[in-house]
A and B are shown apart, each in its own frame.
Chain A
Amino acid sequence: MYSILKSIRTTNFLLAALMGLLVYGAVAMPLSPSFRSLSSTALFDWMKTAPLTASWWLYGCVAVLFLLAVNTVLCSIESVLRKRKGRQWLLTTSPQVIHAGFCFILVAHLLSSYGSFHKHAVLYEGYGARMESGVRVHLKEVKSRVESGHVTDMKATVVYTYPDGSTKEATVSPNNPAFVDGTGLYLKRVTTDPVPAALVLFSYDPGALPALIGGVLFITGILTLVVLKLQDKDRPAADTA
């Protein structure tokens, strides 16, 4: 069992299986109305309520990814142990840094699937909403610029009021959210007619930081590997996993 789990043949099989499931999902998703709420709900919450006929491939993906994570860790340990006395330590370790990044990204998706939330709200100028943490946010002002009938710029000034009475003012605009207690406030749309108002998104994603760490590790590892391989004038060796 151990030799199967650590085998690169297993890696390839699992990658192919994952691709097959995702191809099915990519075709099925646009055809079924069940998936419309998937991006605004934590994945595992969505899977609890979605019909199995729609969500089975996601269960398959989760299972395959779990096995792929185990396979990645075992294969990496085996590789490092097998080559630990070799001189090309950079060539040995860079794939493992890539694998570590991959595992971080899997953990990130796991965290996002459990604990994330995304809720839209309409805030009218002078009025607000209460967040789950007890912090109140009210919309102080909206501004937008329109050119040739297209909105080219928009921003909103919001005021956070904490339970202890202290306040904090923030300006939000596209690609520039404000964060309070880890929850982001994103500006989606503004209007001044009939009354000034803003469509905002409250978003919390616990997987964001691990995903970034994973991305950095992954890129560091693959960049090192590319530099080494491009310097290699001989045909690349097959055993650098």
Chain B
Amino acid sequence: MTVFLPAMLYLSSLLWRPLFHAAIIAQVAYVLSRGIALGRLPLVGLHDTLTFLSLATAVFSLPFQRSFKAQRRFLKSAALLAAVFAILGALASPSSSPLPPVLKTYWFEVHVVLSFFSYALFGIGAILGAVYLLSPDPDTEALQYKAILTGYLIFSLSMVFGGIWAFLAWGTYWLWTPKELWTTLLWLTYTLYLHLRFRPWWTGRRIVMTGIAGYFVVLFTYLGVGLLMKSSHSF
């Protein structure tokens, strides 16, 4: 039951805002307890990664919450997204088997943590895009840009660390597997977003929708590839 507590608190925060912070505290406590039980960061398998993504989404939404007019709509959307990931994570079975030797390295932990931080920021960017579409405001679009740009930095860093780890683990910084290809596609999607912003025709709704579309690539890269395709990142 405790595994569903953060999700219930996120959903309850739709009615009473302070519960959002309570949800974050409960989720941090859960992640810490799992980490202590495992003796490592809980970052392997659907249960742990979805829980981590839920927490990251909630935490990264905090700096954006006071920044603009439609903050109530933004907060509710962030809470809903965090709740969805928390529920999916709670439904997945936790993995407690010992780590294989190749995952026993700080490179793995840094690579995965940064990946999910960036996924969270891309999710925040998508939410801000949706808020913009409901009530267009240049400040909202600017916030979407900042969220995506920061997510792009962190995602690029996770790719660099992933390449270093791959070189140390598998002899090459690049592997021709579905995960690497889709990761590159994800990176190219946001590269395109950042460059399309320079074209006047793309300002406003078009660029905002591009930022939203990128998040679907995120979800497929994270969940679709892991669940449907065989690769070094399979669940």
A residues near B (Cβ < 8 Å) are 8-9, 11-12, 15-16, 18-19, 22-23, 25-26, 29-30, 35, 38-39, 108-109, 112, 116, 118, 147-148, 150-154, 173-177, 184, 186, 201, 203, 205, 207-208, 211-212, 215-216, 218-219, 222-223, 225-226, 229-230, 235-236, 238-239, 241
Q: For B229, what are the chain A residues with a Cβ–Cβ distance below 8 Å?
A: 30
* B25-42 with Cβ < 8 A to chain A: none
B171 to chain A, nearest CB (A): 3
Q: For A12, what are the chain B residues with a Cβ–Cβ distance below 8 Å?
A: 192, 195-196, 199
Supply 18 further A-B pairs (C-beta < 8 A) apart from A15-B195, A19-B192, A211-B173.
A11-B195, A12-B195, A18-B188, A26-B178, A26-B181, A112-B173, A153-B104, A175-B104, A184-B171, A201-B170, A205-B173, A216-B160, A218-B156, A219-B153, A229-B146, A230-B150, A236-B197, A238-B200
Across the A-B interface, the 5 shortest Cβ-Cβ residue pairs: A203-B171, A215-B160, A174-B101, A26-B181, A38-B176
Q: For B181, what are the chain A residues with a Cβ–Cβ distance below 8 Å?
A: 22, 25-26, 29
- Distance, CA A146 to CA B163, complexed state (A): 28
Q: Are A186 and B185 in contact, with the CB atoms below 8 A? A: no
Q: For A118, what are the chain B residues with a Cβ–Cβ distance below 8 Å?
A: 171-172
Q: Are B168 and A175 in contact, with the CB atoms below 8 A? A: yes
Interface of A is mostly: helix
A120 to chain B, nearest CB (A): 10
B residues near A (Cβ < 8 Å) are 97-102, 104-105, 107, 138-139, 141-142, 145-146, 149-150, 152-153, 156-157, 159-160, 163-165, 167-178, 181-182, 184-185, 188-189, 191-192, 195-200, 203, 229-230
Q: Are B230 and A30 in contact, with the CB atoms below 8 A? A: yes
B174 to chain A, nearest CB (A): 7
Q: Can you report 21 residue pairs joining A to B where beta carbons are below 8 Å apart? A: A8-B195, A12-B196, A16-B192, A18-B188, A22-B185, A26-B178, A26-B181, A29-B176, A30-B178, A39-B177, A118-B171, A150-B98, A174-B169, A175-B107, A175-B168, A186-B171, A218-B160, A222-B152, A222-B156, A230-B146, A236-B197
A45 to chain B, nearest CB (A): 13
Checking A109, A208, A230, A238 against B167 with a beta-carbon cut-off of 8 angstroms, the contacting residue is A208
Question: Given A8-B195, A12-B199, A175-B107, are A112 and B101 neighbors across the interface (CB < 8 Å)?
Answer: no
Q: Are B107 and A238 in contact, with the CB atoms below 8 A? A: no
Q: Are B198 and A238 in contact, with the CB atoms below 8 A? A: yes
- Distance, CA A176 to CA B104, complexed state (A): 11
A61 to chain B, nearest CB (A): 10
Q: Are B97 and A208 in contact, with the CB atoms below 8 A? A: no
Q: For A39, what are the chain B residues with a Cβ–Cβ distance below 8 Å?
A: 172, 175-177
B100 to chain A, nearest CB (A): 7
Question: Given A116-B172, A218-B156, A219-B157, are A238 and B197 neighbors across the interface (CB < 8 Å)?
Answer: yes
Q: For B184, what are the chain A residues with a Cβ–Cβ distance below 8 Å?
A: 22
Q: Are A223 and B153 in contact, with the CB atoms below 8 A? A: yes
- Distance, CA A236 to CA B175, complexed state (A): 36
